[in-house]
Structure 1
Amino acid sequence: MNIKYEILPIEKAYFCKELCNELMVFQKSKAKITPELFDDMNFETRMLPSIKSAIDNQIVVVRDGAKMVGYVYSNISPKEAYSNDFATFFDLSSVNRNNVGCLSQFYIKEEYRKYGIGSVLFDMSMKWLNQFDDIEDYFIFVSNGNDALEFYKRKGFAVSHNILNGFITVLRNKR
């Protein structure tokens, strides 16, 4: 393996399109609660709107040689961005500041898991998020059936609550 990490300029987010769409298929395959909600989720409906509503964004991709094998997308967004037609992701009144940090999407191709790549991506995401002094609340939203919950707990996040009848588990870390 020839693993390299690269921070993508946000205008090149489309480089992640295939991986983002793989993530949605993966999440649907693991979901035990309303998997059909993933039917309309893809790069155009998930990542692009998130990028547009965010104040700042970071995408880190992982390559094995020329092959893209994973990515993490993180953002700083107004807390109101997390209350929309789909769901209200957390009690907005529980966040004192105007903006929140979010590790929004995280995916590694299955054959590349268990090599520490996830920890490197997670650490890069947190380092980027932590540079914003005005952010004290960080969120990760994990779809049901995804076994990443334990990974995030080991990294200091705690389960806050579930939304959409358990479709998504909300994890939170407060600075």
Structure 2
Amino acid sequence: MNLTYEVLSEKEMEACRDLCNELMVFQKSKAFIKPELFDGMNFDTRMVPSIKNAAHNYIVVVKDAGKTVGYVYSNISPKKTYSNEFATFFDPTTVATEMVGCLSQFYIQEEYRQYGVGSVLFKMAMEWLQQFDDVQDYFIFVSNGNDNALEFYKRKGFSVSHDILDGFITVLRNKEYFENESVS
């Protein structure tokens, strides 16, 4: 393996299209609660609107000899963004500041898992989020059935806050991530 990590601009988000679509198929394959909700989810309906609605975006891809094999997408968004026609992701009255940080999408092709790629991408995302002094709340949303991801985020210091959509999504939160946890 010859892995490299590359930060992309918003204009380069197209490089994540295939992997984002793979992520939606992967999530549906794991889901046991409302898997049909994934039928309309893809790059154009998930990543593009998220990037457009965010105040700040951070996209990192990992490549093996030039082939994109994984990515992480994080953003800083107004808390009001997380209450929409799909769901209310968290109670906005529990968030003291106007903006929240979110690790929004994270996917690594199966053959590249277990090599530390996820930890590198996670660390890069958390270090980027740490730059924003006006953000105190950090969220990760995990689809049902994706137990490996849920356990990964717990090991990284996040804890389950609540479920939404009858358990379709588990909301993880770490209100004071950088005060209580070291990013390692």
With structure 2 as the length reference, what TM-score do the two structures score? 0.95
Give the residue type in structure 2 aligned to 1:28. Answer: K
1:136 counterpart SS class: strand
- Which residue is equivalent to 1:8? 8
- Which residue is equivalent to 1:112? 112
Give the residue type in structure 2 aligned to 1:146. Answer: N
Name stretches of at least 5 consecutive residues in structure 1 with no aligned partner.
Answer: none
- Which residue is equivalent to 1:154? 155
- Which residue is equivalent to 1:33? 33
- Kindly state the Cα deviation for residue 174 of structure 1 after the two structures are TM-superposed: 1.1
Name stretches of at least 5 consecutive residues in structure 2 with no aligned partner.
Answer: 177-184
CA-based RMSD: 0.4
2:59 counterpart SS class: strand
- Which residue is equivalent to 2:170? 169
Runs of 4+ displaced beyond 6 Å = none
Q: Deviations over 1:38-79 (max 9, x none)?
A: 000000000000000000000000000111000000000000
- Kindly state the Cα deviation for residue 169 of structure 1 after the two structures are TM-superposed: 0.0
- Kindly state the Cα deviation for residue 155 of structure 1 after the two structures are TM-superposed: 0.3
Q: Deviations over 1:107-132 (max 9, x none)?
A: 00000000000000000000000110
Q: Does 1:64 align with 2:52?
A: no
Identical amino acids, percent of aligned pairs: 73
Q: How many residues are matched?
A: 175
Q: Deviations over 1:85-137 (max 9, x none)?
A: 00000000000100000000000000000000000000000000011000000
- Kindly state the Cα deviation for residue 10 of structure 1 after the two structures are TM-superposed: 1.1
Query: Partners in 1 of 2:15 and 2:157 — Cα distance?
Result: 30
Q: Deviations over 1:9-49 (max 9, x none)?
A: 11100110000000000000000000000000000000000
Query: Partners in 2 of 1:93 and 1:174 — Cα distance?
Result: 13
Query: Partners in 2 of 1:9 and 1:131 — Cα distance?
Result: 17
1:61 counterpart SS class: strand
